[in-house]
A and B are shown apart, each in its own frame.
Chain A
């Protein structure tokens, strides 16, 4: 009996040991292999400081390195910087760089290279979209070869967020390569011209075909990256993308259309569907002012003939749109109806849904107050673009909802460039449906919604919004900052300068054999710890 018990005990113990050792083997990253990535959109060009689009940025953060990164739970971790200090007055940020960081051309990543990169971003001649975020920076000083200090004009509470993840973060450029090659050569993706300090070096970019990155053997983190190679292909059609994924032709879809997620899951039960808190706003923006003199971008503004009236904005945007229904139809319930300017996954988000309940009677009453009714029906143009099919679905639902309150919305479907052209250049439009960019902080939305930015499409001219943003960015106390955020979001909802419908869910899809990837939305897409378990 004792012997039998001992034997069965041993068997159980052996099984546990075997199981653990098996798990141990499975968890040990394997070196080598090629990660095959699919993008839904083409990379515009490969000048990391100026090219638009997430597709470029996701290459930049693997070919390049920065000072710091941000984790999915909001913690800052060093990249080329091993440590940093903030002065008590928050006017200087001193970064100590790692000793062994090299650019792919063999030159060191030192304080001078950091200064060179930031100065380049701040130079108006560079025409970088990042320039506006560096407005608080007074200068960058080289204290010693491995110490660099960023000095600010005024305290900026989001300095580290900005360096880590605004437009998905600072990418350091090799001064030698940048001076040796022309901007056009960098844009073209000439391998010698695109020199970063990240885990992968650019091998080639054949626009329309593929982008190839190989492991950089002198990467500063010992043992990383695990992969030999990353190949990025563009597959625009989601059905083709799904077929390629199911057939095992690709390992990772960097951005997958939400409306096809259920189908993909049904056909690939073992696929890793990666998603998180929504950080991108889905907007039904209303134009608030138009140029008084008829000249686009004129500083002399007049109220928009329809949405210049706050009562109409509230009737349509606040009470006339049923956000629950839109989310149910367009996102199959996989998004959050959200009135607040910053979506539920953004720092300092505020739920102000109670300010805008769906209420047809109230919407009609407000419209009547503004002079619209059966005798003078309201008609407006509802523009959207062809970039994502979900935009058209939302637009159609809004049109139907407008019909319920006696309003006619005429849909105008345009391509992305026409939409950008119309909205950025202060062209004629009434309302549009789009999701803009992902917001890691409320502060990063200043660029899309203050009164002076080109990207503030509604073109409200309310300086109070700018004051809120300025106070918010300068405030160093997190509690007080949250209070300002609440005031700002409530103010924007009350004035309907920013009309959110919901968050816009973001999905990535990985094969079961792709290991080591940490999801952090659009902000951090790193392949350095990825390995293939096959």
Chain B
């Protein structure tokens, strides 16, 4: 197990580097560069050439990447070309907001998916099953921005500001600046709609998957044996069927993190949240290469670490699974 873990941890390095390299090359292939945005109405060709030289943007792409990597190894994530702000600082300030959003949206997804899937599997081809399947289909079909706007129109616009439409209140002890709104309640109010908007689509996917897995498990011989032995139905469903059906679901949950990061860009922009999603999209739009690299690095790292964690949870869900050398 230890060797396996070490191997996986070492694998993270080339994976993350590959992702950052691809992003690095792709960003520089996109038309436009940050100098145009930086100089704005002061733009002239001579100044643009000088600024490109100053930021090393005139060097070959590979060399730029090596320079970026060299600094990264020393803990220097660079500074934003547009605002001059240190990338690592901005990433660390925004990361907790996005992490909270992603964790809570996954919680929303599971809170919907697990009961819906159980009902669907246990009461197959009855109206509760049809209802759960239909809701799942609707959830899959609604994009995050649309769900977000609907929630916004109902709970913020329609119901006279029942839930706040935008911004962020920090959890106590997490305020990254001098002036912050800080409270548990305020934080919960601010994160609720974004987490639901982001989680609802994932809930639908997980419901369908978990229902199908549970149906498969329920038909296995060991479940029939358990029933024959007189084990109670709740115990069969929760202990035998659900736990075993969770393995493919957990795999998909890990992969869904990537979609959640993508969805966070949309949801954070819609709800004006100061998270990594808005950081990433602003950086891409402004061609702020250093910030884009920081965004790619942290999201790639988060993705591979979460998937490693997912793989490790298999051993808990199914004790027969062993990771050897």
Contact = CB atoms under 8 A, between A and B. Distances in A.
Interface stretch (B4-12, B79-87, B213-221): B79-87
Given A184-B84, A240-B270, A417-B287, A454 B45 contact: yes
B192 to A, nearest CB: 14
B152 A421 contact: no
Contact of B166 (A188, A189, A235): A235
A52 B164 contact: no
Contacts of A184: 79, 84
A418 B31 contact: yes
Given A231-B179, A417-B32, A127 B39 contact: yes
Contact of B42 (A45, A127, A422): A127
**What interface size band does chain A fall in?**
35 or more
B278 A44 contact: no
Nearest to A209: B274
Given A44-B83, A416-B285, A417-B287, A235 B44 contact: no
A460 interface: no
A240 B83 contact: no
A207 B87 CA distance: 11
A99 interface: no
A247 B189 CA distance: 14
Contacts of B287: 417
A347 interface: no
B166 A45 contact: no
Chain A interface helix/strand/loop/mixed: mixed
Nearest to B275: A208
Nearest to B41: A129
A424 B43 contact: yes
Interface string A424-449: 11000000000001000000000100
A243 B165 contact: yes
Interface in B85-109: 85, 90, 93-94
A240 B178 contact: no
A247 B152 CA distance: 11
Contacts of A240: 152, 165-166, 270-272
A237 B43 contact: no
Interface string B164-178: 111110000000111
Given A206-B93, A239-B153, A454-B45, A44 B161 contact: no
Contacts of B269: 236-237
A302 interface: no
Contact of B152 (A52, A239, A437): A239
B41 A167 contact: yes
B178 A188 contact: no
A208 B94 contact: yes
B179 A212 contact: yes
A53 B39 CA distance: 10
A234 B45 CA distance: 31
A297 B286 contact: no
B166 A212 contact: no
B82 A235 contact: no
B179 A297 contact: no
B33 interface: yes
Contacts of B42: 50, 52, 127-131
A267 B165 CA distance: 15
A334 interface: no
A241 B166 CA distance: 8
Contact of B274 (A50, A208, A249): A208
A187 B274 contact: no
B200 to A, nearest CB: 18
B58 interface: no
A420 interface: yes
B83 A129 contact: no
Interface string A194-210: 00000000011011111
A415 B285 contact: yes
B47 interface: yes
Contacts of B301: none
A454 B40 contact: no
B166 A420 contact: no
Contacts of A233: 166-167, 272
Interface string B55-96: 000000000000000000000000110111100001001100
Contacts of B257: none
Nearest to A455: B41
A51 B39 CA distance: 7
A52 B156 contact: no
B84 A244 contact: no
B160 interface: yes
Nearest to B30: A418
Nearest to B286: A417
Given A45-B84, A184-B79, A421-B33, A242 B157 contact: yes
Given A206-B274, A236-B269, A417-B36, A455 B43 contact: yes
Contacts of B31: 414, 417-418, 421-422
B16 interface: no
Nearest to B276: A208
A249 B168 CA distance: 12
B76 to A, nearest CB: 14
A246 interface: yes
A52 B41 contact: yes
A248 interface: yes
B205 interface: no
B204 to A, nearest CB: 24
Given A206-B177, A237-B272, A244-B166, A42 B282 contact: yes
Interface string B115-158: 00000000000000000000000000000000001001100110
Contacts of A297: 45
B264 to A, nearest CB: 13
Interface in B9-34: 30-34
15 contacts: A42-B282, A45-B84, A52-B39, A52-B40, A127-B47, A127-B51, A167-B41, A187-B85, A209-B93, A239-B149, A249-B164, A417-B31, A421-B31, A437-B41, A455-B43
Given A212-B178, A425-B36, 15 more contacts: A44-B83, A52-B38, A131-B42, A185-B84, A239-B153, A243-B166, A246-B160, A247-B156, A247-B160, A247-B165, A417-B36, A417-B287, A421-B31, A421-B36, A455-B43
**Ordered nearest first, which 8 A-B pairs have the shortest CB separation?**
A52-B40, A247-B161, A209-B274, A187-B84, A129-B42, A243-B165, A421-B32, A129-B41
Interface of B: 30-34, 36-45, 47-48, 51, 79-80, 82-85, 90, 93-94, 149, 152-153, 156-157, 160-161, 164-168, 176-179, 269-272, 274, 278-279, 282, 285-287
